């Protein structure tokens, strides 16, 4: 009767400990200590996260942390969880404080509310007051309230003190949150019914980096303190905050079946509530609790759920799929339709428009998806709120294919995917489907498959077929009927299909084999004939890791399926632990040129990344060259070097690594790659589609505004000798405005012109304005542009506005179509319906473009593009180049939005 225990629980504000920046404004010296504390907090978070792996798989823990963190917003910081602590649980204060401190140290800030019933009863009895209850509600006279207030304050301070001893900041909040009227003054005395909640004290506490600890005392509008049942107060608080989790901590650790005594793992109220309330063993307190839980969840979004758990098992409940207590959620009712019309065409179209990755990336249109569906019989599966929609194509006599699996965030969070999957398996004894090789839920697919092929960043899964030869026969039938593009099956003996998510020594699921697919019927497109994709684990050495770009690259490498960061060099930070990298502990070293030469000679790393200021990387590159020459086979067997500075962007022996514009094949074959500049990347992406349409003799102009992280960092020392990095340009120094700089001759101006010129035929005349010194000769760069940079008071993100003179009259739609054709299939490019804004680019790994407008004469177009200067403008682009040069899928380890 009751659902199985496979669950995903929880969500959080997902924030590291933050000391408010206003202190840095008042006293700049405090900036160092703030950054030191943030670094310590990040180290604590990394350590605690690794400890969490002991209670669940790494994938489970990281997925839950991502889900918790993704819903955080500074305007609503109190939306992770409301945790209600029963008075009996307060007697286990050490265990309780440890569990709450655990959450705090991974950056999660629950709102904590406690009762104190048992403690209150003890004191009341000791003072000769006889407890009186009516309808289960404690009658509260003035003496009882006086004692209750004292007890609540004492228990509140005990919990705050226990948390502070563990280094967890906590703030006692004993008034000012709950406003109440008398429930029934004559009947119950000083007992309140909550009428209003002021969440500002809670949010202020979390913004200050402290857990808010509440008592269940309220005030009437005229200031009278009233007693409120703690469970009811928690429920009203949850209705106001709409958290992902409402957690009730009790001694038993869950709800239990009244006959068998077994713990109830999951209760789906929409499906089970009516039947449960009829069960003879559901009575008294259990019936009351279920009714209260249902009334509460009916007021909340479907993403919210209730958990009943013990303090000791709180982490297992929140961070594992199996959980540990009882999870109560509204649930879902499933449907199955044989046509779009029976589901509702508008509803289905909206889901495709909002969630289909092929549509979002521009590979297909909504109309194209619907047209494809008409060519074969299909069944649509899902739940009533459409948190998950799946489409299975099943031509008569052929193997069915799951062409669409489109979950919303709530569908993943509330485990609707598993229930829809169960319905599909019930109808189809065999099935094929695909998923991205770097899909964060890839383990989910492996757990449900009998085998898989992987190729060019895509995996084909199946169940119900045990013979690999038959799988290959089915795949070839798909090819012949046009259901997928030509595949690249491996040559040689077939390997047994893998079963479940078993891992090989390289970290790749065992039994996987190569496979590629097309955009048709939900398979992802392969834009070029794919080269063999490596799954070998390789090592990266990072020189110059203390800056923002080095930190961003460290974070990306931490999630890369095959690359390991083996050496990180920073002269100032040598000997300190590297934050943000969770695969293995790494300590900063101070590598000399001799060290690099020896390591290269002995083959200790497969790739070097130079993240040093302009001019500083040359000695290390020469050291790599010398080491490579001493290897067997010479430089051809040496490591790949990707340089992030401007030192080699004009060198003929180096490959310029901008895959979207200058091709992938040269990067795949390269050993020395210069990473483009951030401004230059966006400028070139804006101008490149129009190189054939540029007006000769007139400069295209690009105005770029970057966040202050683009200026880099400097090392600063606090009065106590603590060393940390600070921005060269602080947001305070900008006073809320922007600061133009390097108004002419910026190096990105020449960089963009030089490489854009390579897009013109060798015989094409120069488009650059004539200059006296060019008299009688052809200029080296056929395209030149004017570039004007500025720095803004935000952290990261570049907005580039290009004004481009045209050789003929064109309208905005023509220009937009040219861009769509030029960037068709490019996963790192986002075409925007309007002007890209900072919120579209900050923290994103892609380049966005939009806002196409032409002048009234049609001979000039203005276009806006944007990217994050630390990501697509630096670290993400570096990882694209590393992936290509080392033989991986280009997008491995890149969480494309």
**CA distances (Å), 80 to each of 17, 734, 832, in order?**
15, 34, 31
The whole-angstrom separation of Cα 464 and Cα 481 is: 21
The whole-angstrom separation of Cα 370 and Cα 265 is: 40
The whole-angstrom separation of Cα 672 and Cα 654 is: 5
The whole-angstrom separation of Cα 487 and Cα 492 is: 15
Kindly report the length of the chain. 897
Residue 666 is classified by DSSP as H
The whole-angstrom separation of Cα 159 and Cα 66 is: 28
The whole-angstrom separation of Cα 81 and Cα 893 is: 30
The whole-angstrom separation of Cα 578 and Cα 574 is: 10
Nearest partner of 732 among 140, 168, 26, judged by Cα: 26
Residue 688 is classified by DSSP as G
If 0-12 CB within 10 Å is exposed, 13-18 middle and 19+ buried, where does residue 125 land?
exposed
**Residue 805 β-bridge partners:** 860
Tokens of 811: 């309208």
The whole-angstrom separation of Cα 101 and Cα 48 is: 10
Tokens of 728: 């060269």
| Residue of 535, 678, 785, 870 marked active site | 678
Sheet strand arrangement including 563-569: 563-569, 538-543, 607-610, 640-643, 672-674, 655-656
Tokens 């001979």 belong to which residue? 859
If 0-12 CB within 10 Å is exposed, 13-18 middle and 19+ buried, where does residue 258 land?
middle
The whole-angstrom separation of Cα 365 and Cα 361 is: 10
The whole-angstrom separation of Cα 144 and Cα 677 is: 70
Residue 772 is classified by DSSP as G
**CA distances (Å), 843 to each of 281, 730, 797, 897, in order?**
52, 19, 8, 10
678 is catalytic: yes
Residue 872 CB coordination number (10 Å): 28
DSSP-derived pairing of the beta strands 701-707 and 217-219: unpaired
Q: What is the CA radius of gyration of the chain?
A: 31
- Assess contact for 202 and 152: CB atoms under 8 A: no
Beta strands in 310-352 (DSSP E): 326-329, 334-337
- Assess contact for 89 and 253: CB atoms under 8 A: no
Residues annotated as catalytic are: 678
């Amino acid at each position: 009767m009751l659902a199985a225990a496979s669950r995903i629980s929880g969500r959080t504000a997902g924030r590291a400990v933050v000391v408010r920046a206003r202190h840095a404004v008042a006293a700049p010296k405090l900036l160092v200590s703030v950054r030191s504390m943030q670094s310590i907090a990040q180290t604590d978070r990394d350590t605690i996260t690794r400890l969490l792996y002991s209670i669940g798989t790494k994938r489970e823990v990281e997925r839950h942390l991502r889900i918790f963190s993704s819903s955080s917003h500074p305007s609503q910081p109190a939306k992770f969880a409301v945790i209600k602590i029963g008075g009996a649980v307060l007697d286990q204060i050490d265990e309780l404080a440890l569990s709450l401190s655990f959450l705090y140290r991974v950056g999660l800030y629950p709102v904590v509310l406690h009762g104190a019933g048992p403690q209150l009863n003890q004191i009341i009895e000791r003072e000769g007051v006889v407890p009186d209850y009516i309808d289960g509600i404690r009658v509260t006279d003035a003496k009882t309230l006086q004692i209750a207030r004292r007890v609540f304050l004492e228990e509140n301070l005990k919990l705050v003190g226990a948390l502070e001893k563990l280094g967890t900041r906590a703030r006692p909040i004993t008034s000012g949150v709950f406003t109440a009227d008398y429930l029934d003054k004559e009947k119950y005395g000083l007992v309140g019914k909550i009428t209003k909640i002021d969440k500002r004290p809670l949010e202020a506490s979390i913004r200050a980096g402290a857990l808010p600890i509440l008592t269940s005392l309220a005030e009437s509008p005229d200031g009278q303190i009233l007693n409120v049942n703690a469970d009811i107060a928690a429920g009203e608080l949850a209705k106001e905050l709409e958290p992902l989790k409402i957690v009730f901590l009790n001694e038993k650790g869950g709800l239990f079946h009244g006959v068998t005594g077994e713990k109830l793992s999951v209760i789906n109220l929409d499906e089970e509530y009516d039947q449960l309330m009829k069960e003879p063993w559901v009575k008294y307190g259990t019936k009351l609790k279920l009714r209260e839980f249902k009334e509460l969840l009916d007021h909340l979004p479907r993403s919210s759920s209730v958990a009943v758990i013990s303090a000791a098992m709180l982490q297992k409940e929140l961070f594992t799929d199996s959980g540990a207590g009882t999870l109560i959620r509204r649930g879902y009712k499933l449907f199955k339709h044989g046509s779009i019309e029976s589901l509702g065409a508008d509803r289905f179209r909206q889901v495709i428009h909002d969630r289909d990755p092929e549509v979002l990336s521009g590979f297909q249109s909504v109309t194209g998806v619907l047209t494809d569906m008409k060519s074969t019989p299909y069944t649509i599966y899902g739940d009533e709120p459409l948190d998950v929609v799946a489409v299975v194509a099943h031509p008569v006599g052929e193997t069915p294919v799951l062409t669409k699996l489109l979950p919303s965030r709530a569908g993943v969070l509330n485990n609707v995917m598993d229930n829809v999957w169960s319905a599909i398996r019930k109808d189809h004894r065999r099935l094929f489907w695909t998923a991205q090789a770097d899909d964060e839920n890839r383990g989910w697919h492996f757990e449900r498959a009998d085998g898989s092929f992987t190729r060019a960043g895509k995996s084909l899964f199946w169940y119900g077929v045990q013979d690999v030869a038959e799988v290959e026969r089915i795949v070839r039938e798909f090819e012949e009927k046009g259901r997928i593009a030509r595949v690249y099956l491996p040559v040689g003996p077939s390997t047994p299909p893998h079963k479940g998510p078993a891992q090989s020594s390289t970290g790749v699921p065992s039994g996987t084999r190569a496979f590629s697919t097309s955009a048709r019927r939900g398979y992802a497109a392969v834009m070029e004939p794919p080269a063999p994709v490596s799954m070998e684990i390789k090592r990266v050495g990072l020189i110059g890791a203390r800056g923002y770009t080095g930190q961003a690259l460290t974070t990306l490498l931490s999630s890369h399926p095959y690359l390991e960061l083996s050496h990180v060099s920073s002269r100032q930070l040598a000997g300190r632990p590297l934050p943000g990298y969770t695969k293995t502990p790494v300590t900063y070293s101070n590598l000399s040129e001799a060290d690099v030469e020896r390591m290269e000679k002995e083959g200790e790393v497969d790739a070097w990344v130079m993240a040093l200021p302009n001019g500083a990387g040359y000695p290390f590159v020469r050291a790599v060259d010398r080491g490579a020459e001493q290897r067997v086979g010479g430089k051809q067997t040496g490591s790949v070097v990707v340089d992030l500075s401007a030192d080699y962007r004009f060198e003929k022996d180096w490959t310029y690594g901008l895959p979207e514009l200058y091709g992938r094949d040269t990067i795949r074959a390269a050993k020395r790659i210069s990473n483009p500049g951030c401004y230059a990347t966006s400028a070139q992406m804006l101008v490149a589609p129009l190189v054939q349409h540029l007006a000769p003799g007139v400069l295209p102009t690009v105005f770029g505004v970057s966040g202050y992280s683009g200026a880099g960092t400097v090392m600063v020392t606090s009065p106590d000798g603590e060393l940390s990095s600070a921005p060269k340009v602080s947001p305070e120094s900008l006073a809320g405005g922007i600061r133009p700089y390097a108004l002419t001759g910026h190096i990105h101006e020449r960089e963009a012109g030089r490489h854009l010129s390579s897009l013109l035929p060798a015989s094409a005349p120069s488009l650059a304005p004539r200059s006296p010194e060019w008299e009688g000769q052809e200029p080296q760069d056929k395209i030149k542009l004017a570039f004007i940079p500025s720095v803004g008071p935000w952290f990261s993100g570049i907005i580039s506005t290009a004004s481009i003179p045209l050789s003929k009259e064109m309208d905005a739609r023509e220009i937009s179509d040219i861009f769509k054709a030029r960037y068709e299939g490019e996963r790192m490019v986002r075409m925007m319906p309007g002007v890209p804004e900072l919120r579209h680019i900050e923290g994103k790994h892609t380049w966005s473009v939009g806002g196409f407008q032409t002048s009234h004469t049609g001979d000039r177009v203005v276009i806006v593009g944007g990217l994050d200067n630390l990501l697509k403008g630096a670290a993400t682009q570096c990882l694209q180049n590393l992936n290509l040069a080392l033989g991986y899928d280009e997008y491995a380890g890149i969480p494309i939005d």
